[in-house]
Amino acid sequence: MRIILGFAIAALLGCSKETSQEPVPVASTSPPAIETPIAPPPAVSRLPDTNWALHGNDTGEQRYSGLDQISRDNVDELGLAWSFDLYTRRGVEATPLVIDGVIYVTGSWSMVYALDARTGELKWLFDPQVDRAFLAKGCCDAVNRGVAYAQGKIIVGTYDGRLVALNADDGEVVWDVQTTDRDKPYTITGAPRIAKDKVIIGNGGAELGVRGYVSAYSIVSGEMIWRFYTVPGNPADGFENAAMEAAAKTWTGQWWEWGGGGTVWDSTVYDPELDLLYVGVGNGSPWNASLRSPGGGDNLYLSSIVALRPDTGEYVWHYQTTPGETWDYTATQHMMLADLEIDGKPRKVLMQAPKNGFFYVLDRATGELLSAEKFGVVNWASHIDMATGRPVETPQARVFDGKNVSLPSNAGAHNWPPMAFNPDAGLVYIPTLLFPVTFLEPTQDKDMKPGQGKWNVGFDRMGGSPPKIPNLGDILDTQFFSQFIAWDPIRQEARWKAPPGRAGMGGALSTAGGLVFTAARDDQLLAYDAATGEELWSGYTGNLAAAPVTYALDGEQFIAIAQGFGGGFAAEGGPVAHDWQVQNMSRVMVFKLGGTAEPPPPRVDTREMPQPAAVTADAAELAHGEVVYHRHCGYCHGDGLRTGGVTPDLRWSSAQVHEIWQDIVLGGVLEARGMVSFSDYLNADDAEAIRQYVLAEANRLYGEKHPEQVEMQ
């Protein structure tokens, strides 16, 4: 399962570089004849991991590196080698690629940076000039999780739905294709993957009402080769294939009017051993299944892992993790391939810890469920019935009365941060989330179809603060938490758990040095003993970070990580992150043994809150303003006006902003900064009512900051 030698690596990476650090026995430097391999690649093989050339390092996306210079014995000597400040101040979720002395990393707005891996010097920058108005078409900030590399090209999916191939040497555009309908709320945040001579890309948008799909494009020309929809369209239009016809039997009502969902917004994996492409499919659109498919049904292929033929996009098998998905329980999370011995038999498995809280081990040739157990705190299902492969839901699972809590929350027990595997310890490391959510139905907006700046999840307000939950452990009684755990995928149980920390995101890296790294717990990059979980080193990063990678140059091993606070915690999770007061520091940090570099100091925000004008609205107008605000504005600007710090806190709006309020909300004068016009949804009275609600809350906050002035009044 490790990196594949020789011919296969030429096929996968399209090795056209003859100056590789490690000599690689490629068959040819011209495009390889990848359709007819000479011999199947060995099941388990390893190259010296000097590069990190695939998203998950190896074809199984195990995120395990054979480098062992940094080890349990010396990791305490790890220090900063260099850092590079990215040019934006939004979320960063990228896994960097490292190829022959160059780091290719994405920041927000799908910008690609090529950095000298020795020094951090910028070699080139590609800015795809994403239309900022697309911010209103995405759920979770203008993030990007990385590039793919093949045939001398760096390939990035852009937030406005394009797939762009760049010359790896100079960043010049080779081709640039639109993969989505720009009039619909599709966005791309995931990293493309390479499957032989094709690049695979999906998209997001199921919170705003779209039909999900995954597509394959020619690496050479950017021409689309095939597209596979993940949910059926309107049967009256005919079905694209037999898989869609079969799926339509599991839907009811007029689901296509809602989009249906099933977006492939993160994980796809190509398996060269079995020549299968695995696709992780997202949640329903809307979330609430009783609106989407009122007569019930499993709603294939929502929340499923689907195996396709990479050459044609033809359906092979599927496994649905959450039939009748209604909680935003995506199965888009990291899929990892490995060879495991189960019940005395070697099995080729696919492992996933999707949002719904169960850890699944599937036979990846057939999709057969081998085992599934809870890795998180789960109350929607008691267990997975191994005879049917289906979850057994609890009686309260679909009670949405505003009081019953759903566990995990819509953020999941595990979200996009990648896992890692240590083949020696036999452990999978999972960054987990531990908090619930409360849904209320029916929504006031049950007839409202999707649109810009408006979720159509089909539930009303989800409480801003987590309710206290007795009998579910001390952790859940108090705060939004995350916890890094080491999971034994054969015995299906945790081997060790790190102490929980503030809820955050951060992927995992596993190395032959017996270490596992992750960014967690209040902005630390941490190194644990892979076998025992003993914490061996921590380095301050100052921000929530993505997934670390490792590489070697000139005989030295480096650990690299990209960071930048934002993403879901800065948008939907604003009320949670508001209290953290995290300042965005978008940065690439690279560590090595004996590193002594100092990162630039954090920016200090010295601004004072302007004194707001008096409220002139009556109680009825204020109440209307609050409702309309939460329907159209709260998603980005925060529940109760509490933002995560990436979008403006409207309570701090200046007098000038209040003066041109109508021009901003209805006229769209700030569209170039991502604040689109809401004239399709709001009129002048609505906009003014929102302004009055903002003023009321601004005065409340100002009073808290200046109690002496309140007393004087």
Task: Identify which of 11, 5, 14 has the alpha carbon closest to the alpha carbon of residue 168.
Answer: 14
Q: What is the DSSP string of 404-419?
A: EEESS-TT-SS-SS--
Following CA atoms 501, 503, 504, 509 in sequence, which dihedral angle do they give, to the nearest 10 degrees? Answer: 50
In the bound state with Ca ion, the residue whose beta carbon lies nearer, of 415 and 510, is: 415
Name the minimum Å distance from CB 555 to Ca ion. 44
Min. distance of Cβ 190 from Ca ion in angstroms?
13
Dist. CA 237–CA 95, nearest whole Å: 40
As given in the structure block, the two tokens for residue 572 are 């939907």
Nearer CB in complex with Ca ion: 433/615:
433
Cβ atoms within 10 A of the Cβ of 534, count?
Answer: 12
Closer to Ca ion by Cβ: residue 283 or 524? 283
What is the smallest separation between the CB atom of 484 and Ca ion, expressed in angstroms? 23
Kindly tell me which of 283 and 299 has the beta carbon lying closer to Ca ion: 283
Q: Which of 499, 516, 534 is nearest to 422 (CA)?
A: 516
The closest alpha carbon to 688, from 668, 656, 662, 657, belongs to 662
Query: Which of 106, 313, 295, 302 has the alpha carbon at shortest distance from 201?
Result: 313
Q: How many CB atoms lie within 10 A of CB 611?
A: 12
Nearest to 414 by CA among 497, 481, 340, 356: 356
The percent of the chain in helix, strand and coil, each rounded to the nearest 5, is 15, 30, 55
Q: What is the DSSP string of 503-562?
A: S----EEEETTTEEEEEETTTEEEEEETTT--EEEEEE-SS-B---EEEEETTEEEEEEE
Is the separation of the CB atoms in 111 and 127 below 8 Å? yes
User: What's the closest the beta carbon of residue 268 comes to Ca ion, in angstroms?
Assistant: 17
Cβ proximity to Ca ion, 93 vs 328, nearer residue:
328
Closest contact distance (angstroms) between CB of 369 and Ca ion is 23
- What's the full length of the chain, in residues? 713
Q: Is 230 helix (H, G, I), strand (E, B) or coil?
A: coil
Residue closer to Ca ion, measured from CB, 330 or 653: 330
Measured from the CB atom, the residue of 285 and 584 that comes closer to Ca ion is: 285
Closest Cα to residue 540, out of 585, 485, 481?
585
d(CA 702, CA 713): 13
Half-sphere exposure of 336 (CA within 13 A, CB side): 31
Catalytic annotation on 328?
yes
Smallest distance, Å, CB 705 to Ca ion?
36
Catalytic residue from among 58, 160, 328, 460? 328
> What is the maximum span of the chain, computed from C-alpha positions, in angstroms?
85
> Which residues of this chain interact with Ca ion, rule CB under 5 A?
283, 328
**Could you tell me the smallest distance in angstroms from the CB atom of residue 457 to Ca ion?**
8
Q: How far apart are CB 410 and Ca ion at their closest, in Å?
A: 7
User: Measured from the CB atom, is 355 or 495 closer to Ca ion?
Assistant: 355
Please say whether the beta carbons of 86 and 587 come within 8 A: yes
Q: Exposed, middle or buried, 118 (CB in 10 Å: 0-12/13-18/19+)?
A: middle
Q: Which is nearer to Ca ion, 110 or 189 (CB)?
A: 189
Minimum CB–partner distance for residue 439 and Ca ion (Å) = 14
Among all residues, which ones are annotated catalytic? 328
